[in-house]
Amino acid sequence: MGIESDIKNFYEGLVSEEIYRLLDEGKVEEDNVEDVACVALNNLPSKYYRHSVDLAFYQGPEELMEMRRRVVEEVSSAIGFVQKHRN
């Protein structure tokens, strides 16, 4: 047990969901998934939690909608960044 296994960044799950959605649609290459995730996460704030119930108690639906909107924006931007720097 340790800090690394006990805390999580909520944005990691949202970014993963968005990337896999785009992967299914053919809008991101499988070889770029990890790079896109890193770039997107570096451009998003951290939202750490220990227990998922903590988020349910402190986070309202408006905040979650805004977080998802930012994730869509940052993942899209990260795809462009990675593609540009791969070629």
Average pLDDT score, the chain: 91
Is residue 69 predicted with pLDDT exceeding 70?
Answer: yes
pLDDT class for 86, splitting at 50, 70, 90?
A: confident
Counted domains in the chain: 1
Is residue 87 predicted with pLDDT exceeding 70?
Answer: no
**Averaged over 25-39, what is the pLDDT?**
96
Residue 34 has what pLDDT? 97
Domain that holds residue 10: 3-86
For 21-66, the DSSP string reads: HHHHTTSS-GGGHHHHHHHHHHTS---EESSHHHHHHH--HHHHHH
Is residue 41 predicted with pLDDT exceeding 80?
Answer: yes
31: burial class by Cβ within 10 Å (0-12, 13-18, 19+)?
Answer: exposed
44: burial class by Cβ within 10 Å (0-12, 13-18, 19+)?
Answer: buried
